[in-house]
Amino acid sequence: MKLPLFSIGQDWKELRRFESLNSDECSIVFYAENKASMNHFKLLILELTEKMNLQICYVTSVKNDPLLSKENPKIKSFYIGDGAARTKFFLTLKSKILIMDMPDLNTFHIKRSMTFPVHYVYLFHSMFSIHSYLRKGAIDNYDTIFCVGPHHIDEIKETEKVYELKSKKLIKYGYGRLDTLIAEKENNLEHIKPKNLILIAPSYGEKNLLETCGIELIEILLQLNFKVLLRPHFRTLKDSTKLINNIKKKFGNNNNFVLETGVIPPDSFHTSLTMISDWSGIALEYAFTFERPVIFIDVPKKNLNPKVNDIKLDPIEISIRSKIGYIVSPNNLEKITQIFDNFEKNSKNFNQHIRELRVTTVYNVGDSAKIGAKYIQELNNSL
């Protein structure tokens, strides 16, 4: 394979700086594809560097990544962009271990190293089932998978059986993002009291709840005297500017409405009464953090894998919905009014049930970083 021609851009300079490291300095590498990656890396990196005193490298495609400006002797940070420098980084990587949450390794232009036997570790950025929210083959070229819960182990083993794939190392890991959210909640319990705030967090796609019935939903909630925070998916912000502009025009002057184009502020996340979503992974994070029911608008599910039915297992995001919240048809949004009539009373009924379901759905709640760091340390020593 012909490698890209060298450029003098900042990304190439950073790549050259990375490639100048000795083998001990770059034996453990994290790669962040986008801003959300750190949500899943944060606790694991802290465990490796602060608790185990290990040296790591953090390579990112996010130009303003906060870790680039932080000085930490245990973390060497590099910006490689998302162009040709990144392509070369992957092709010529000389490291023992690469950890990332980016699927489709070796499927498109991001390839396994051609020059070194790197061990690739995949970290999930969603609790959803692999055969329904990822493309076919999305994690087949990883060596180790940090599984969120039993459903991932069952799905990966079934996928390996159906497609006659080489077995991967499956670690009972958990979900670092959930651990972070629960810790934030427990550290601020005395300040966190649910307010009259409803979060709307749709997924993306042609028939997501915002495209299907978003304006009507917002109108109903405002008429019920709720405060509403809408956080569209970033792809919706980019691809559906007409819809977003219509929402701004219609609700922009309403003091009870907020259009959030970035990350939901922690205070809003922790003090909201509930979340309304469709097929966004954040709904499971919300329910398992606050042990409160979520309202699901039952729009068609987007599917990146046309071969989803090859795996005869129900996707968890389908089977779990009715257990952690309410399912509402977009053609019957009036049902939401009925739900809120007895919301507080019914939320108490959900509380214990969701807590018990969390334990059986997610491994090592609160301790995923310890499990993952121990494995990485042992793997590093063995390679």
Dump the DSSP string for 133-151.
HS-TTTTTT-SEEEESSHH
Q: What pLDDT, on the 0 to 100 scale, is given for residue 7?
A: 45
Structure tokens at 254: 């309403």
Q: Which is it for strands 169-172 and 197-201: parallel, antiparallel or unpaired?
A: unpaired
Structure tokens at 293: 């029911």
Q: Which amino acid is at 204?
A: Y
pLDDT tens track for 182-202 = 998 888 766 666 779 999 999
Residue 30 shares a structural domain with residue 164: yes
- In angstroms, rounded to a whole number, what is the distance separating the alpha carbons of residues 232 and 261? 7
Q: CATH code at 14?
A: 3.40.50
Question: Is residue 319 in a domain?
Answer: yes
Residue 152 shares a structural domain with residue 278: no
pLDDT tens track for 51-65 = 999 999 999 999 999
The count of structural domains within the chain is 2
Residue 253 shares a structural domain with residue 339: yes
Residue 213 shares a structural domain with residue 350: yes
pTM equals 0.93
Residue 112 shares a structural domain with residue 39: yes
At 312, phi and psi to the nearest 5? -85, 55
4 pLDDT band (50/70/90 cuts)?
very low
The SS3 call for residue 293 is: coil
Query: Percentage of the chain surpassing pLDDT 70?
Result: 96
pLDDT tens track for 337-375 = 999 998 888 888 899 999 999 999 999 999 999 999 999
> 2-6, 212-216, 280-284, 308-312: which range is least confident on average?
2-6
Structure tokens at 321: 């919905």
Rg value, the chain, Cα? 22
Mean pLDDT of 237-241: 91
Structure tokens at 225: 């005297």
Q: Which of 168, 165, 163, 164 is nearest to 147 (CA)?
A: 168
Q: Which amino acid is at 324?
A: I
Question: Hey, CA dihedral for 314, 317, 318, 319, is it positive or negative?
Answer: positive
- In angstroms, rounded to a whole number, what is the distance separating the alpha carbons of residues 308 and 271? 37
pLDDT tens track for 251-299 = 999 999 999 998 888 889 888 999 999 999 999 999 999 999 999 999 9
Residue 207 shares a structural domain with residue 341: yes
Contact 217, 276 (CB under 8 A): yes
- In angstroms, rounded to a whole number, what is the distance separating the alpha carbons of residues 233 and 239? 10
Q: What pLDDT, on the 0 to 100 scale, is given for residue 3?
A: 45
pLDDT tens track for 240-254 = 999 999 999 999 999
Adjacent-strand bridge partners of 99: 30, 121
- In angstroms, rounded to a whole number, what is the distance separating the alpha carbons of residues 83 and 191? 44
CB environment 174-210: b (16+ within 10 A), e (fewer): bbbbbbbbbeebeeeeeebeeeebbbbbbbbbeebbb
Residue 161 shares a structural domain with residue 233: no
Residue 133 shares a structural domain with residue 22: yes
Residue 84 shares a structural domain with residue 214: no
Q: CATH code at 207?
A: 3.40.50.2000
Q: Which of 239, 233, 276 is nearest to 36 (CA)?
A: 233
Give me the half-sphere count of Cα atoms (radius 13 Å) on the Cβ side of residue 245.
5
Q: Would you say residue 335 has pLDDT above 60?
A: yes
Range of the domain at 171: 10-175+365-382
Give me the half-sphere count of Cα atoms (radius 13 Å) on the Cβ side of residue 238.
6
Question: Is residue 5 in a domain?
Answer: no
Contact 327, 296 (CB under 8 A): yes
Residue 357 shares a structural domain with residue 298: yes
Residue 198 shares a structural domain with residue 283: yes
Question: Is residue 1 in a domain?
Answer: no
- In angstroms, rounded to a whole number, what is the distance separating the alpha carbons of residues 367 and 44? 10
Structure tokens at 317: 């995001």
Q: What pLDDT, on the 0 to 100 scale, is given for residue 191?
A: 65
Question: Is residue 195 in a domain?
Answer: yes
Residue 43 shares a structural domain with residue 171: yes
Structure tokens at 87: 């392509």
Contact 31, 102 (CB under 8 A): yes
Counted residue by residue, the chain has a size of: 383
